[in-house]
Amino acid sequence: MTVQELLPPDLIVRSVLGFAVGALIGLERQKRMTQADAIGVRSFGLHSLLGTLAAYSYTVTGNTVILVYAVVISVILVTAQIIYKIFRTMRKGMTTSIVFAMSFVLGALVGLDAPPTPPELVGPLSVLAMTISFLVFLILGFKEELAAAVAVITRDEMISAVELGVLILFLWPLMPEYLQVGTIRFPIFQTYWLIVLLLAISFGNYILVKKYRHRGPYFFGFFGGFANSEATVSSLTDFHVKTERKFPGRMSLAAIFANLAMVLRNGVIIVLLDPSLEIMRYYLFPLGILVIMGLVRLAIERHDVREHDEQEIDMRFVSPFEFGAAIRFAAVFTAVSFVSLFLQQVFADVGTLVAAIFGGFASAGAVVAAVVPLYVSGVISLQTAVFAVIITTTTSVLNKIIYVYVADREGTLARRVVKDSLVMATGVVVYLLLLAFDLIPLV
């Protein structure tokens, strides 16, 4: 009989994992506890290994005697630990007792796991046990940080987070991917996803501004722009209204950050979808124009902000997120997306260019992600692809004017965004005209 027959690799992996999922939790407990007799790596690891061996023996033999025996022993050990802690050490809290009981369950999950399919080393239950073990380790390890975060959470913030969770958990599985309207398949799930994204961005905006005060909108604008610049600017405008329109300089500066992030993101999408870099060759020039113009406006606007907007942002009357802003954005996005899909389907190449204009008002990233593969597969020409990508990016810079105006019609922020968007877009429009009249050849 060979060594592999005596000790199958699966059994060795299970035994190691069975000890490790408990030992990882015990490691954190042992580092935190100061008493010499506190349970730690060995106790937690052996407790979870007990669960693994008992559960594995049940899967092999079908006999429940060993499993029941192990469960009884585990109950006795956990009970003894609770009694010792309460009556001997007089310490408060049940965290150690709870995670000690959990270690047995995690070990049992490893033992109950089905044999992995090669080349996989572990099955789904083992992955679940490892994930939960690591999650528990993080929760225990960052106790002070979590306590500090919970301490500053208000009732409105907690309700908002729960509302967002309900919107995701309950509606996500029920939402169809497409809605058939005549001959057009409208991506209804994408609209739902954008509503969720906007609410999440809005909540992130609130948290960032609360933490960093006057610098928060800048972080939010840039990182939110990578996800969806339209939703980001819409959320920023709504936040501007909620803060009584006191900080137009900061909000317009954050909108510039969102545009810069969007332009860079589109470049990344082009490179990923077109390894030949044919489209990227012609996108580099407008990319440079938009980035340079954006940085110039950034420097000017930042100087203006330093002079006029140095006071802290008052968060007392601001909601973590606003459903009204999300619904307004979704309505605009849905209308524009439907029109662009119709034009692209009916008018082919010309329709692609027109769709790029309309689609840029909704999501330039989605248009770029749709156009570049059409060129790579030979459906459209390089000229059409280049024009579509540059047009939709330019439109996405200009569309911030509409999203700001829809959410705030009083003018101060809208005027700043109009100026910033036109400055950034002017150079690209000149470049497009040079391409259109063959002054810059497209080969």
Give the tens place of pLDDT for each residue, 234-271. 877 877 777 777 777 778 888 888 888 888 888 887 88
Q: For residue 329, what are its two tokens?
A: 């954005």
Quick check: 234 and 403 in contact, CB under 8 A?
yes
> For residue 171, which of 195, 187, 201 has the smallest C-alpha distance?
195
Q: Are 332 and 233 in contact (CB under 8 A)?
A: no
Per-residue pLDDT at 186: 66
pLDDT of residue 30: 77
**Tell me, what's the pLDDT at 235?**
76
Give the CB-side neighbour count of residue 275, counting CA atoms within 13 A.
0
Domain positions in the chain are 3-149, 154-436
Contact yes or no for 417/255 (Cβ under 8 A): yes
pLDDT score of 105: 93
CA–centroid distance for 402 within its chain: 26
Report the distance separating Cα 222 and Cα 261, nearest Å.
6
8 A C-beta contact, residue 72 and residue 66: no
Determine the pLDDT at residue 315.
45
- For tokens 């407008």, the residue is 286
From first to last of the 443 residues of the chain, give the pLDDT tens digit.
444 455 667 788 888 999 999 998 888 877 766 555 567 888 899 999 999 999 999 988 888 899 999 999 999 988 888 887 777 666 666 778 888 899 999 999 999 888 777 666 778 888 888 988 988 888 887 766 556 555 555 666 666 666 667 666 677 777 777 777 776 666 677 667 766 766 666 666 566 656 665 666 777 777 777 767 777 788 778 777 777 777 777 788 888 888 888 888 888 878 877 888 888 888 888 888 777 876 776 677 666 555 444 444 544 444 455 555 556 556 656 665 666 567 666 666 677 777 777 777 777 777 787 778 778 877 778 888 888 888 888 888 888 888 888 777 776 788 888 887 887 788 788 888 888 887 777 66
Please work out, in degrees rounded to the nearest 5, the angle formed at the alpha carbon of residue 357 by the alpha carbons of 351 and 361.
135
Distances (CA, A) of 352 to 47, 145, 262, 349, 385: 63, 51, 21, 5, 9
- Model-wide pTM > 0.95: no
User: Which of these, 164, 193, 196, 165, lies nearest to 177 by C-alpha position?
Assistant: 193
Long-range contacts of 292-295 (CB under 8 A, 24+ apart): 293/423, 293/424, 293/426, 293/427, 294/256, 294/259, 294/260, 294/263, 294/424, 295/260
CA distances from 422 to 88, 166, 267, 297 (A): 73, 40, 21, 11
SS (H, E, C) the chain: CCHHHHCCHHHHHHHHHHHHHHHHHHHHHHHHCCCCCCCCHHHHHHHHHHHHHHHHHHHHHCCCHHHHHHHHHHHHHHHHHHHHHHHHHCCCCCHHHHHHHHHHHHHHHHHHCCCCCCCCCCCHHHHHHHHHHHHHHHHHHCHHHHHHHHHCCCHHHHHHHHHHHHHHHHHHHHCCCCEEECCEEECHHHHHHHHHHHHHHHHHHHHHHHHHHHHHHHHHHHHHHHHHHHHHHHHHHHHHHHCCCCCHHHHHHHHHHHHHHHHHHHHHHHHHHCCCCHHHHHHHHHHHHHHHHHHHHHHHHHHHHHHHCCCCCCCCCCCCCCHHHHHHHHHHHHHHHHHHHHHHHHHHHHHHHHHHHHHHHHCHHHHHHHHHHHHHCCCCCHHHHHHHHHHHHHHHHHCHHHHHHHHCCCCHHHHHHHHHHHHHHHHHHHHHHHHHCCCCCCC
Provide the pLDDT for residue 55.
92
Which candidate, 260, 265, 211, places its Cα nearest to that of 233?
260
Give the list of residues 6+ apart from residue 158 with CB closer than 8 angstroms, or none: none
Closest by Cα among 120, 104, 380 to 112: 104
Q: Are 1 and 78 in contact (CB under 8 A)?
A: no
